[in-house]
Every structure is written in C-alpha cells, then in structure tokens.
Amino acid sequence: MHTTEQRAEIRRRFAAVDTSNVADALDALGRPDQGLAPSLAAVSGTRVAGWAYTIRGQMRPYAGTGDAAKMEACQGVGADEVTVWAGDGHGVCYFGELIALGLRERGCVGAVVDGGVRDLRWLRQHGFPVFAQYRTPVQSIGRWAVTGWQEPVYLRGATTAWVRVRPGDFVLADEDGGIVVPSDLVEEVLDAAERLTTTEVSIRAALADGLTLAECLARFGHV
C-alpha cells in the first residue's frame, strides 16, 4: 500500500511519460491487452494520469430529480485519483461540469468515461481533463443510474473486447489513447517506461546530430 506522498509522486512521474512507452513496458511484462479502445478520446485537455476510482451504472428509468447513488459515489473520491466511469449507457451523459468541479475540490485529477459527457466548453475552460467515448447534451437523470463504485469495472479495449479496471490501478491517457496499469505492476511498469523515455531522448538527440535511424537502432536498440 502506497502512502499519500508516494501516490502523488508516482502520479507525477507517470504524467511525464507517454502511453506508448507504458504499453511497450506492459508488453514486455506479458500484459499486452491493457490498452483502451481507440474510440476513447480526449474531449477536454490532452492528458489524464491518476489512480483509478471506479464507478459503474446502467440504463434504467427511475423517478426523481437526481441520482443519490452517483452523489454518494463521488463523495469517496480522493487526491490524485481519476474517476473511471463504466456501464451500458447509450446516448446519455454520465458526467458533466458540476460533477467535475465537485470532484476537483476533492483532489480528483480527471475522468475516463466509457460513455457520454457534456458541458465540454466549461470542462475545457476549467482545465479539467476528460477522455470519453462520445458527447451528448442529454442528461442521465431518469435514464441512467449509478449501481456501484470502487469495484472492478470493464472498459472497451484496443486489442481485446474489455479491459478490467480495479480500484487502485493506474490510468494514463494522452494523444495516443488510454491504457490501464494493474496495481501490482505500477512501479515496475513506471521504471521501465522511464527508461524507454530516456532512450528515446537519446535517439532524438543522435538523429539531430546526423546519425541515421539504422545507426541509432544499432546503438540504442529497438524502442
């Protein structure tokens, strides 16, 4: 179990590496199916990095003017966490500006939504990073309800139908897409991704100095 300070430091380090290097590190460790579906893309900001706080829901009609379970789930979010939203929603938003502002007050650093979001203009203005499957103005109230949180959820995958995300896994998304690092591999993957990042910096410098790509690959190896 990591301390609060360790979690913050790990998040800071992950924010400095690319998903491509994290994916390569996971491949080397025999975990090739951790990438999220290409349809999951940035709608606000360009990068999300944080510890997974999972929330799931489903389409079901209900009465009333709010979703008490959603509000209760959001109250548990803490510092350096990313809310990961999953479920069988269609055409409705799971997440919007006001929830984002409430989460940010609790230290939340972004959201990954395997479904819909709205209020994009305001999310961007507030600088709250969100990756999502689609955008829609249609609210979830009366249509989609939270049914659980802080339990394993499944997001659509890049090389497999579904990627399992557990509370405490690490989620990283950038311009290339999203990837999930299992909690038991976080430090090993991070160390490897940082080494790959350092090698890439050296290769770029060598190319700028006039070496050919073939010479760089012979010197540094495949990246």
CA distances from 74 to 11, 51, 107, 133, 203 (A): 20, 15, 11, 20, 44
Name the strand (E) or helix (H) holding 220: helix 213-220
217 is an annotated ligand-binding site residue: no
- Is the predicted pLDDT of residue 222 greater than 70, yes or no? no
With a CB cutoff of 8 Å and minimum separation 6, the contacts of 73 are: 55, 146, 149, 150
- Please name the residues in contact with 114: beta carbons below 8 A apart, sequence gap of 6 or more: 40, 84, 85, 86, 87, 132, 133, 155, 156
Measured CA to CA, the distance from residue 188 to residue 216 in angstroms comes to 26
C-alpha 126/C-alpha 109 separation (Å) is 12
Report the range of poorest mean pLDDT among 22-36, 56-70, 111-125, 152-166: 56-70
pLDDT > 90? residue 209:
no
Q: Half-sphere exposure of residue 192, counting CA atoms within 13 Å on the CB side? A: 18
pLDDT at 192 (0 to 100): 97
For residue 133, the tally of other CB atoms under 10 A from its CB is 21
7 is in an annotated binding site: no
Any idea which fold 4-183 has?
Answer: Glucose Oxidase; domain 1 (3.50.30)
* pLDDT over 60 at 40, yes or no: yes
98 is in an annotated binding site: yes
- Rounded to 10 degrees, what is the CA torsion of 44, 47, 52, 55? 20
DSSP letter at 18 equals: -
Nearest to 26 by CA among 163, 174, 222, 192: 192
Q: Is 10 annotated as a binding residue?
A: no
Domain boundaries, the chain: 4-183
pTM, whole model, 2 decimals?
0.93
Q: Which two tokens stand for residue 108?
A: 């939340």
Give the Cα separation of 71 and 93 in Å (integer).
15
Rounded CA separation 130/99 (Å): 12
Comparing 199 with 184, the larger pLDDT belongs to 184
**Please, which residues bridge with residue 82 across strands?**
52, 110
Query: What letter represents residue 20's amino acid?
Result: S
The answer to which of 16-20, 32-36, 159-163, 205-209 has the lowest mean pLDDT is 205-209
97 has binding-site annotation = yes
- Phi first, then psi, for residue 147 (nearest 5°) are -120, -5
